[in-house]
Amino acid sequence: MEPIPVPSEPTTRPSTHFTPLDDLTSSFLLNAKTQTYSHQYSSIYFLRLHEMKKAVAQVARAKWANAPGGPQHVPRVLDIKKGKLSYVIGTVYMDMRLKPSILDDIVKDEFNLAAPPTAKYFSDDDVIMMEDESGRVKLVGEVIAKAGLVTGIIVGALGMETPAGDFEVVDYCFAGLPPQSPLSGSGLSKSDKMDIDEEPSSSSSGEWIALVSGLEIGLTHGTAADAESLETSRQLLIEFLLGEAGGVEDQAFSSQISRLIILGNSVVPIIMEEEDEIKSKRFNASKTKYDPSPLYNLSSILTEISRALPTHILPGSSDPTGTSLPQQPLPRPMFGKELSSKGKEAFVCETNPTWIGIGDCEMLAVSGQTIEDIYKYVESPTRLEMASRTLLWRHMAPTAPDTLWCYPYLNEDPFILTRCPHIYVLGNQPEFQTDIVEGTEGQRTRIVLLPKFSETGCLTLVNTNSLEVKTISFKVSSP
């Protein structure tokens, strides 16, 4: 009988260096005493255009400086001249008949009737508009129709006004990737940017960050066997993170994980039954059947994991917090005495979205609502491609506030990307996807789309130095 292998030396976790990025995150944290929803949302659009117009204009000048016809920049859309090649910069507005409307909400509230929700807003009847402080102009032409635009992005358009008063676009540009802070040790080659290792290895140096989303504790779909398999998958995940699962190599690798980040949808949403919903509208007295056990179970899991490694948790669309972006941190006292008494670096309740600094690596983490909404505007591109485009647009949530709820900021648009993240993570996606996006000034961003753990059992690991990615599956099939 062979002896059970044991590590030659005790495994220890690497020291982790959490760097608060207050200049990027402070605007996401709303002051409960001063926040107000009395402002008009138009301020966000004007601020967005004002802040980003200069960057787009710089790209436009460089791109079209030597274009035939010598196009000139027209400062306002209403100053475009017929028959003269020029370029203009403004905010895109997509006029889409399938887009949800406030009138739909009124009909639903008053008569309990509404059109069924659509998976896509896209249709052949869509109209692309560009607007600025002076007015709007309709953008036409095959080039712009295939650009995959969404409401709220700032674009530069080269073209000519038609006899009908539209602007026919022959080329377009965006702001491009924003500046990026230097990252030591990023040596991932272009050929490796899509390669994913599914087996744990301890060969790479640097910190490994564990990423997971969609734990969905309390999920009741499926059979009792399905629920038991999901619970087993969660327990395997916990044991791996604590270094208690697998062989010696697995335990040595798990000891290199320095931090866990949970990106939303940790518990299932509170569901109001249809009968209760109707009663609440009639009598303003909802009797929702609330089950606290998912939160108790989540608190137990977080307490166990946070004893071994620092843990960050972002709220998601199903978690008990507001739905408008930026979602505010889940209340620490909600997780019990032990977790709420931990230091702020050991257990961190984040906003959604949020920036997290680990050494000199800057990570942008979003629970997924931004890409979920953007994806409805376009016909064919993948979610990974749309995530890449948000970097080129320099905006993580362009469809807010049109079809994505957000706080009505008066003096800023915090969703503008003023810095390019080294790691850009989006949770609660249909499947795992990743890529490296590179900018013209040497920027390199690892994009990671996380699937729901409740559906895939997938844990993703990212190295903060090399930007290497690994996935580990803990999915247990039902008998």
Tokens 């257990």 — which residue?
A: 347
What pLDDT shows up at residue 1?
Answer: 45
- Say how far apart CA 475 and CA 134 lie, in whole Å: 55
CA angle at residue 364 from 449 to 341, to 5 degrees? Answer: 105
Q: Letter for the amino acid at 124?
A: D
Burial class (CB in 10 A: 0-12, 13-18, 19+), 90: buried
Q: Which of 9-18, 88-97, 109-118, 236-245 has the lowest mean pLDDT?
A: 109-118
∠ CA 63-95-159, rounded to 5° = 25
pLDDT at 200: 47
pLDDT in tens, 408-424: 999 999 999 999 999 99
Letter string b/e over residues 244-259, b meaning 16 or more CB atoms within 10 A of that residue's CB? ebbeeebbbbbbbbbb
Banded pLDDT at 9 (limits 50, 70, 90): low
Please name which of 200, 181, 203 lies closest in space to residue 423, comparing C-alpha atoms: 181
Q: What is the pLDDT of residue 205?
A: 64
State residue 3's pLDDT score: 47
Chain segment 269-306, per-residue pLDDT in tens: 876 555 455 555 555 555 556 678 899 999 999 999 99
Angle at 196 between CA 191 and CA 199, to 5 degrees: 135
Does residue 189 register a pLDDT over 60?
no
pTM recorded for the entire structure: 0.90
Q: Which domains does the chain have, with CATH numbers?
A: 18-36+178-473 (3.60.21.50), 67-173 (2.40.50.430)
- Tell me the pLDDT tens digit for each residue of 322-372: 999 999 999 999 998 888 887 778 899 999 999 999 989 999 999 999 999
Sign of the torsion angle spanned by Cα atoms 140, 143, 148, 151: negative
* 431 pLDDT more than 70: yes
Residue 249: pLDDT band by 50, 70, 90 thresholds? confident
Closest CA to 386 of 405, 414, 366: 366
Q: What average pLDDT does the segment 114-118 reach? A: 57
How is residue 63 written in tokens? Answer: 């791109």
Q: Above 50 in pLDDT, residue 2?
A: no
Higher pLDDT, 346 or 110: 346
∠ CA 209-214-220 to the nearest 5 degrees? 145
d(CA 97, CA 166): 20
- Judged on CB neighbours under 10 Å (0-12, 13-18, 19+), 29 is middle
- Spatial distance between the Cα atoms of 255 and 241, rounded to a whole number of angstroms: 8
- ∠177-384-263 over CA atoms, to 5°? 95
Sign of the Cα torsion 414, 409, 122, 130 reads negative
